[in-house]
Chains A and B, each alone.
Chain A
Amino acid sequence: MADIKIVLPGDIIDTHRKEDTEQPESNAEDSASVIRLGPGLLQASEAVSAVTAGVLHSNSETNRWWVAGNKRRYVAAVGEPVVGVVVARHGEGYRVDIGSAHDALLPHLAFEGATKRNKPNLAVGTVVYGRVVVANSVMDPEIECYNSNTGKSEGYGELSEGFMFKCSLGLARRLIDTKAPVLAALGNGVPFEVAVGVNGRVWVNAENVETTILVANAIRNSEYLDAKQCRQMVKELLEKQ
């Protein structure tokens, strides 16, 4: 893709490619060009239109199209890692705020090694790192703090020290990719731990308060910077310390 195409909600997307000009007709009946629509796109009768503002992406091998938008309100989707805050305790589990329209349910037993007799006891206000297991438009979302297949926590569970801050959903998604330049640059400079939730919340922990603040600010500043600028920004922050 040579240029970046920005779309707004309501824009009709032309899913024909420049390479397909030999077959310019009907994409509906031609089974060789079945198009898969990802987030941000909807099919309205014959036409495909964008429903979010963002950059239009496509993958020519799988013929997937999607819109990479950026906002701050999270909509839960299955399989995504999220950082949540416990807001209430019930008989069956905890109510956890993950930033979506409805609070998520975290069952008491959804932790590594939890049995009926041996349940973790989380207070209201505890920060947890979990994975979304149920998310649809008719039910409240549900999360779990372990991998239910292996029974191991795999990093999920209570986050007990450090600091948590909010960021945009776009930045969170870029951070999840472990080669994110700001995390790599910081990792070369200071030791720290980070847990990124795609719901726009990031947890950071470092040796002391000043370093934690430095890491948090570096991540927040990196939103609109490219890789080279990120490295420069981190370098300046570390030198000032």
Chain B
Amino acid sequence: MVAEIGPSNIESAFLLEALKKGTRVDGRGIYDYRTLKISCGPTYGLAEVQLGQTWVLARVSCEVTRPFPDRPTEGIVLFNTELSNMAGFGLESSRSSTQEVAISRMVERVIKQSRAIDAEALCILAGEKVWTVRIDVHFLDHGGNLIDAASIAAIAALRHFRRPDVTIDGEEAIIHDVRERNPVPLSIHHTPICVTFGFFGAAGDMLVLDPTLLEEQVQVSSFTITLNSHREICALNKAGGIPLSPAQIQRCTQVALAKVDEVNEKIQLALKASTA
């Protein structure tokens, strides 16, 4: 199989020349997102996100399990990503791809460690039964910026998802079939959204929001900031690449704040429009 190759010399040279003039090769401004389409349904917990050419599908499901022994009153959240050959050339199906692991860990951290989901609300009977919520993210097409698309898909799917209703009767828990009683939504505290920037040039002085695949291959540094609609920073991620100044980080944060509001609105519209 062909290993992942870098961009050709004219693609990189052209991209950098265009950036010096403040334009991007697809005609966008440097702070423009690509067209973002979110759709939820037809079943609960299924969300599809298209960010330009990048296409991601997230699916949420749940089942009743025993809790971890050290956390008897908390439910379990499992996160899984699938990045295969279908998404693009040179991507292997084996799980050890460093790129896939990096993306998977980033989005998992955003969902779990920012406490977006109320894990205590997933408890049915302490020490015995809890809900395990499983989020599966499938990358259908790799057009660049998988992290942002995956985070939007995952949180939209979680907000769209409905779990079966439960009644506690003393020591017994009765899990109602979805046909008997309407399923209930998960308890989501807030909606974290990742916003990724790419940096170019020897000093990292040129930056773009929402890099495409070619821009990702040419960039010298990448920075992801995760914010929610309450203007709280949930996570910052900068792994390697050239150093960035505090002024650059602040500029990115300001831009990201505006973008997160727009994305949140789109998620709301998609949830309302869902046919589930």
Query: Using a CB–CB distance below 8 Å, which chain A residues touch chain B?
Result: 85, 87, 97, 99, 101-103, 123, 125-127, 159-165, 203, 209-210, 212-214, 216-217
Contacts and interface: CB of A to CB of B under 8 A. Distances in A.
A123 B26 CA distance: 27
A123 B9 contact: yes
Contacts of B21: 209-210
Given A126-B8, A209-B17, A99 B25 contact: no
Contact of A163 (B2, B6, B25, B27): B25
Contact of B10 (A99, A103, A159, A213): A159
Contacts of B26: 213, 217
A216 B11 CA distance: 12
A102 B5 contact: no
A85 B14 contact: no
A127 B18 contact: no
Contact of A125 (B1, B6, B14, B27): B6
Contacts of A165: 25
A194 B259 CA distance: 36
A213 B25 contact: yes
Contacts of B17: 209
B23 A209 contact: yes
Given A209-B23, A217-B27, A97 B5 contact: yes
Given A99-B89, A102-B2, A209-B17, A216 B8 contact: no
A162 B1 CA distance: 29
Interface in B71-125: 89
A123 B6 CA distance: 13
Given A97-B5, A125-B7, A163-B14, 19 more contacts: A87-B5, A97-B2, A101-B2, A125-B6, A125-B8, A125-B12, A127-B10, A159-B10, A163-B25, A164-B8, A164-B11, A165-B25, A209-B18, A212-B14, A213-B23, A213-B25, A214-B27, A216-B25, A217-B26
7 contacts: A102-B2, A125-B7, A159-B10, A210-B21, A213-B18, A213-B25, A213-B27
A164 B13 CA distance: 11
Given A97-B2, A162-B14, A212-B14, A126 B23 contact: no
Interface residues of B, number: 19
Contacts of B18: 209, 213
B86 to A, nearest CB: 10
Contacts of A97: 2, 5
A203 B14 CA distance: 12
B41 to A, nearest CB: 25
Contacts of B9: 123, 125-127
B6 to A, nearest CB: 7
B46 to A, nearest CB: 24
A135 B27 CA distance: 37
A30 to B, nearest CB: 44
Interface in B7-54: 7-12, 14, 17-18, 21, 23, 25-27
A202 to B, nearest CB: 12
A159 B8 CA distance: 11
A210 B10 contact: no
Among B1, B11, B23, which residue has the most Cβ atoms of chain A within 10 A? B11
B11 A163 contact: yes
Contacts of A101: 1-2
A216 B18 CA distance: 13
Nearest to A158: B10
Among B5, B9, B14, B21, which residue has the most Cβ atoms of chain A within 10 A? B14
Contacts of A159: 10
A210 B8 contact: no
Contacts of A103: 2
